[in-house]
Structure 1
């Protein structure tokens, strides 16, 4: 579902590249009409586990939204353990406890946020960006433009998830 008017949807995902000893983060930010406000592919040069990189993706997504000057966001990802911890419905595992606490502190800054768990099929654009991170040296950011390799997925999302076409 699209976010409410004046809210932005921030889809995040993480990927582990064991063979490279690093991991990647993908972030896609859209408005209520499905228009892409920003996207990011970021490589983290540290070997995190799956849960840890997913938590970092939420943290990076929130920071990216704040960097873009957005005030109200809905964070979405497919890592149930992370979304449950952020919603307060479960205690975070010790490996992500500091990240979760840091994200929760952001709620008291100028940024207002909510969190939803979604299945991977609704998080594919962010997943593709996370997988792409293995090919970048640090990070690549797109603002108000769509990375060519996710254009088809973004179009499917807009027309398949009740976004109002522009």
Structure 2
């Protein structure tokens, strides 16, 4: 009973910040000492599989870590996006991040995670799990972005189609995103 009360207290008192959504189509770095985790998920119906792409970058726009993962489960589009966020939360925790901006291209999921709307029955358990896990971080922000600003995660989610399981990169630029990353950095430098 006491454990349940503690969990309920933590869940009701943990603050998640929701930054304003901008119309800029370029990726914006987080402020130091924060890290930004971009997330995407996709369904490969023909393979009866889904995949997750995660890119972690710092204030200097450098890739700190990345993951491309295939999940051999049949999920719908909303469920795979929720699963992608859950995987990204675990990945961010596993690599030791504390101040994190989680950025995805699903307004529905951002709304569910910030309690702005009630999650669909199909994802309510995953959302509950995510909310509990987010409490472990020192600070969390949740942001919605347009797909154009989530390009690197989208490339990694597509790359997962060729995988049997998953691959991670730590302090290394994944080959599948090197060209897009270079373009992003050059675009930023021209401002």
Q: How does the TM-score come out when normalised to structure 1?
A: 0.93
Structure 1 CA distance, aligned partners of 2:58 and 2:115?
26
For the 8 Å contact 2:159–2:176, the answer to whether it is kept is no
4+ aligned runs moved over 4 Å, structure 1:
none
Match of 1:63 among 83, 87, 90: 90
Q: Flag the structure with larger Rg.
A: 2
For the 8 Å contact 1:2–1:161, the answer to whether it is kept is no
Segments of 5+ residues of structure 2 without an aligned counterpart are: 1-27
Write the deviation string for residues 66-112 of structure 1: whole angstroms up to 9, x where unpaired: 11111111000111111111122111111111111111112322443
Match of 2:125 among 70, 92, 98: 98
Please give the secondary structure, in 2, of the residue aligned with 1:59: helix
Structure 2 CA distance, aligned partners of 1:15 and 1:111?
29
Distance 1:87 1:110, change over 3 A: closer
Map 1:121-132 to 2 at 5 A. Answer: 121-132=148-159
Structure 2 CA distance, aligned partners of 1:29 and 1:66?
12
Does 2:71 correspond to 1:27?
no
Shift of 1:152: 1.5
Structure 1 CA distance, aligned partners of 2:92 and 2:128?
18
Q: How does the TM-score come out when normalised to structure 2?
A: 0.81
Aligned residues: 163
Please give the secondary structure, in 2, of the residue aligned with 1:13: strand
Map 1:103-114 to 2 at 5 A. Answer: 103-114=130-141
Structure 2 CA distance, aligned partners of 1:158 and 1:115?
23
Segments of 5+ residues of structure 1 without an aligned counterpart are: none
Map 1:1-166 to 2 at 5 A. Answer: 1-160=28-187
